[in-house]
Amino acid sequence: MHPGFGVYVHIPFCAKKCDYCAFATFTDRHQLTSDYLAAMRTHIRRSIANGMPKATSVFIGGGTPTLVPAGELMSVLAEIPLASGAEVTVECNPDDITIEMMKTFRSGGVNRVSIGVQSTVDHVLKSLGRTHNPENVVRSVAYVREAGFETFNLDIIYGAAGESIEDWRKTVQDIVALDPPHVSAYGLTVEANTALASQPDRHPDDDDQADKYIIVDEVFAASGLANYEISNWAKPGHECEHNSLYWQQGNYEGFGSAAHAHLDGRRWWNVRTPERYIELVTAGESPESSSETLDAQTRKREALQLLVRTRGGVPSGSFSDADLAEMNELLEQREDRIVLTRAGRLLANEVALRLVDTV
């Protein structure tokens, strides 16, 4: 199946930088909001003039999109040509969500929101450098439903310093109690140049994260949320189309500072700061910062590395017979595909190194 065409919109503004965040986000540039959104609208119109196809999925992320006035954010979305039935997602901070905001998003064409929960345990949120109140999550989900959204995602993170197994089990059970159609659960990772990176005593423990992954997978499976990519679970029909496009190496355009784009093996990304992005777009210049072009063999290998993480797995023949025999607890054959077992998902990076290059 052809993966369609995606659009990513980056909102670089945040109220506070989370300790683990390595994204291009800024806490002191809110005065640029109007100019930044105007530059994105200009950039989108320019891309349409250059033949940009209709989007089958749009993801507005950041940063914190909900720090931008909802109506102004929708003015950017209004510029993007959408294919029939397109999935349109906005990332939301539970502290910011109001019923008015959700109704504005819904009437503006958004049909999916992704709420950054991370944890429902207060001291774990503080350990992550998050500021929201766990009670706001329950209220936010109620507003999302009241505004008429039929699908939404909740994001959670495991492995923070001081997070016990009991803390994690509480978060997972609290999430299930909200009956979400989709959940993303990520192991905390240490990114360079973050507050977390400079504090080794707070770095996550691999064995602890493995135990927590098993808990989340068991609890979600029992509640009707099926794993369809290592870190993603959904009820049938609620899988994220935009993420699936990335996993299938689909083409997508990126608008905003530091946004990435891809076209048939060529990847490029925009300048990192909002000031520079505004300056270049306003001057009629490309905001592209740098790019890379993958050769056919590299693309094929990357395709397998992405697919092996998903429920559909990779074609038979993607591993040698010897490796299949050696990794029989990590891989299983399903008709003409090879898929990861739960144990295999825990060691996916190591398994991916054994993929056979069949080009």
For 85-131, give the DSSP string. Answer: EEEEEEEE-TTT--HHHHHHHHHTT--EEEEEEE-SSHHHHHHHT--
Separation between Cα atoms, residue 70 and residue 199, nearest integer Å? 37
pLDDT of 199 reads: 66
Look up the pTM and report it: 0.94
Residue pair 254/261 in contact by the 8 Å Cβ criterion: yes
Compute the C-alpha angle 26/32/35, nearest 5°: 135
Mean pLDDT of 112-139: 91
C-beta of residue 97 within 8 angstroms of C-beta of residue 143: yes
Q: What is the pLDDT of residue 188?
A: 86
> Could you give the residue range(s) of every CATH 3.20.20.70 domain in the chain?
5-246
Q: Which one is the CATH code of 5-246: 3.20.20.70, 3.40.50.300, 1.20.1050.10, 3.40.50.720?
A: 3.20.20.70
Distance CA 166, CA 172 (A): 10
Contact in structure between 213 and 227 (CB atoms under 8 Å): no
Mean pLDDT of all residues in 106-110? 98
Give the confidence band of 359 by pLDDT, cuts at 50, 70, 90: very low
- Contact between residue 85 and residue 54 where contact means Cβ atoms under 8 Å apart: no
Q: Which residue has the tokens 């739960």?
A: 342
- Where do we find the tokens 């954010």? 73
168's tokens? 């994690």
Question: CA 276 to CA 257: how far, in whole Å?
Answer: 8
Across the range 151-165, mean pLDDT stands at 95
Whole-angstrom distance, CA of residue 352 vs CA of residue 301: 9
285-344 tens-digit pLDDT:
999 999 999 999 999 999 999 999 999 999 999 999 999 999 999 999 999 999 999 999
Q: Is the separation of the CB atoms in 29 and 68 below 8 Å?
A: no
**Measured between alpha carbons, how far is 299 from 249 in angstroms, rounded to an integer?**
8
The single-letter code of the amino acid at 129 is: G
Which tokens hold the place of 197? Answer: 């990176």
> In 3-state terms, what secondary structure has residue 150?
coil
- List, as one string, the DSSP characters of 242-263: HHHHHHTT-EEEEESTT-EEEE
Burial 97-107 (b: 16+ CB within 10 A, else e): beeebbebbbe
Q: Which helix (H) or strand (E) holds 156?
A: strand 152-158
φ/ψ (deg, to 5) at 303: -60, -45
Q: What is the pLDDT of residues 234-249, one digit of tens each?
A: 999 999 999 999 999 9
- Helix pair angle (33-49, 274-282), 10° resolution: 50
Over residues 173-181, the mean pLDDT reads: 98
* Paired sense of beta strands 288-293 and 337-340, if any: unpaired
Token representation of residue 151:
């699908």
Asked if omega into 284 is within 30° of 0 (cis), the reply is: no
Q: What is the pLDDT of residues 53-107, one digit of tens each?
A: 999 999 999 989 999 999 999 999 999 999 999 999 999 999 999 999 999 999 9
150 half-sphere exposure, CB direction, 13 A CA radius: 7
Amino acid at residue number 101: M
Check residue 17 and give its pLDDT.
59
CB pairs under 8 A, 24+ apart, for 227-230? 227/311, 227/345, 228/310, 228/311, 229/309, 229/310, 229/311, 230/309, 230/340, 230/345, 230/348
Q: Which long-range contacts (CB under 8 A, 24 or more apart) does 45-48 make?
A: 45/79, 46/281, 47/253, 47/255, 48/79, 48/81
Phi, psi of 60 (to 5 degrees): -100, 110
∠ CA 49-55-58, nearest 5°, is 120
